[in-house]
Amino acid sequence: MPAIELSRLKLQAAQLAENFHDPAAYIRACEDLFEFYADRTHRPGEAGSPPPIIPTYKVPGPVLRRILLELDPLAQADTAGALALADAFWEKGVLEFRLMAANLLGMVDPTDLQPILTRVESWNAANQEETLLAAIADKGLARLRVESRELFIEQLEDWLSSIELAVQKLGLQALLALVDQPRFQNLPVAFRLLAPLIQEAPRELRPYMLDILRPLAQRSPQETAYFLRQAVTQGRAPTALWLARHALDFFPEENRQKLRETLRR
């Protein structure tokens, strides 16, 4: 993998963007660029995250970010063109292309939200990569989450009440993206969305829920600890007990002690 020279990378990404309205040409040129920056040094068995299921070039993050930076103004100006290119990216079936598809989807105007939701749901149904799940739920819904907050929350309720595990995971990842925003202050909404699941969630959802509790506890340890104590006291459900125990380290000592007392009882 060659060293990244910013001036050269900017030129390469700008040249790629010239093919914005020709997805096939864009992908051909992008494949050449990915081959240029591909990391061939990793060997099976090395330490680190589990390898992805789908093919990957292992392209460095700065390369993808520069490509997406060039696409951003084009996607905001031409929704149809951006959706067509995003579809072509996803169909390619390679990790980097699918990550770009999710990011590109989050750049389009969310006034007509159905094309966005249709792709988010269909891509999620076909996906088995945790990295892509996070990208779809976060990057793919970026503008919708900010510009149509009420509709976004309604969609979260729909996903979280689904009987399909993959859809519930999508809802939880999208909720995490919401509560992770520094300006997010509506904690009662987050607690309301979590409340039904905290008593009856399958084991597979517990880590996702725990990820959400961390930023909530950082934002308001008192409210979050109270929410967990209530969940434990009212239902004594395995999920509520598991979450309360595993979330103890998220809290200051005073809140932690009260939560321990509730668990003992």
DSSP string, 100-117: HHHHHHTTS-TTS-HHHH
- Averaged pLDDT, 141-148: 96
Do residues 254 and 261 touch, judged by C-beta distance below 8 A?
no
Q: What is the pLDDT of residues 165-217, one digit of tens each?
A: 999 999 999 999 999 998 888 999 999 999 999 988 899 999 999 999 999 99
Amino acid in position 210: L
Residue 48 pLDDT more than 60? no
CA-nearest of 140, 61, 147 to 96 is 61
Residue 257 pLDDT more than 80? yes
Predicted TM-score (pTM) of the model is 0.93
Do residues 157 and 193 touch, judged by C-beta distance below 8 A?
yes
pLDDT computed for residue 51 by the predictor:
86
CA-nearest of 254, 202, 193 to 229 is 254
DSSP string, 34-50: HHHH------TT-SSSP
Take residue 96 and report the two structure tokens written for it. 């980097």
Q: What angle do CA 123, 147, 155 make, to 5 degrees?
A: 45
State the Cα–Cα distance between residues 198 and 92, nearest whole angstrom: 37
State the Cα–Cα distance between residues 223 and 117, nearest whole angstrom: 32
Q: What is the pLDDT of residues 131-144, one digit of tens each?
A: 999 999 999 999 99
DSSP state of 141: G
Q: What is the pLDDT of residues 95-125, one digit of tens each?
A: 999 999 999 999 999 999 999 999 999 999 9
Helical pair 130-138 and 165-179, crossing angle rounded to 10 deg: 60
